Structure 1
Amino acid sequence: MEIETLWRTFREPLRTFIIRRTHRVQEAEDILQDVFLKIYTRMDSLRDEQKLRPWIYQIARHSIIDYYRKEKPVVELPEELPESNEPDDANLNRELAKCLRTMIRQLPEKYREAIELTELEGLSQKDLSEKLGISFSGAKSRVQRGRQKLKEFISACCHLELDRYGNILDFREKNPACTYNSCK
């Protein structure tokens, strides 16, 4: 099938399909052009013409995803930025680290021991299994369960604000009854 025929047949349905997913008419036009460019350049990869329609809509879905991946928010910086000798996240990490030791001590013994040995003392999970006389998979399970229990404890006590990389931007007390108070 020629590209002109595909354009006449699929342009409006694809345009509507894209607009419904992006809610942006102008961007939909750009994505639509991208879709037809991909159709044109990849037409030889279509093996079964009976599957033309699903193939075209799959290209459209991927183009929408690509569009959102490329879209970066524009953030304006203030005229004057505060100067600091030490990044705030380093301070937050140190402050939260004090609390973590207190929270780790609250874990059940077998999980506390696994977390202390691997996370605080740097023991590998393989070495942990040998030290405790348990299987390697048992050691891995203890560490994972200990991490999960610690995460649940932190979530119950503190509200954490993280960036997209998992770095701590801010944290504050959620539950005054938690041991978080003893960390201050």
Structure 2
Amino acid sequence: MSTCINCVWEEFSLPLKRFIKNRVDNEQDAEDIFQEIFLKIHKNIDRVMNEDKIHAWIYRVARNTITDYYKRNHDKLEITDLSEDLESTTDEESSANIEIASCLKVMVDSLPETYKQAILLTEFQAMTQKELSKELGISISGAKSRVQRARKMLKDMLFACCQLEIDSRGNIIDYKHKSSECKYC
């Protein structure tokens, strides 16, 4: 494989730092984890057979390193099931998708409780809107309205915060924050 470690450093150092800092509260821990990730990348990059899959591999190494770090230090793991669902990636997904997913988690958390509950149950627990209506004791049309309103709120928050470049498959290939004041990312 012809991937050079300096090229990987240049491309991934800043996005990986953001990725880690979004998941780790302590600045010193984040720096330690960052160094550990790049050490693992340096030692194992030759094992990646397909250069097209390097993004996914690097972020898998990062997620695993964060998890391992907290397990080693017996701290409470701050990564929630929701963030894992939002950030689960296929090999084709880019780091931009992963970073936007972490912003989306904060956005979901900031929704009013009724809409947050509707999104969490339908999108992340695979509940149908009919099942949602039974669970919440509301009409099917009421459940559908809640889910649609929650999706619209999330979309509005995302587009208010970020300028997105999306490929033909719907993957985010690049993004830029519209303002450094964005409270979600």
TM-score for both structures, normalised by structure 2: 0.49
Rg (Cα) greater in structure: 1
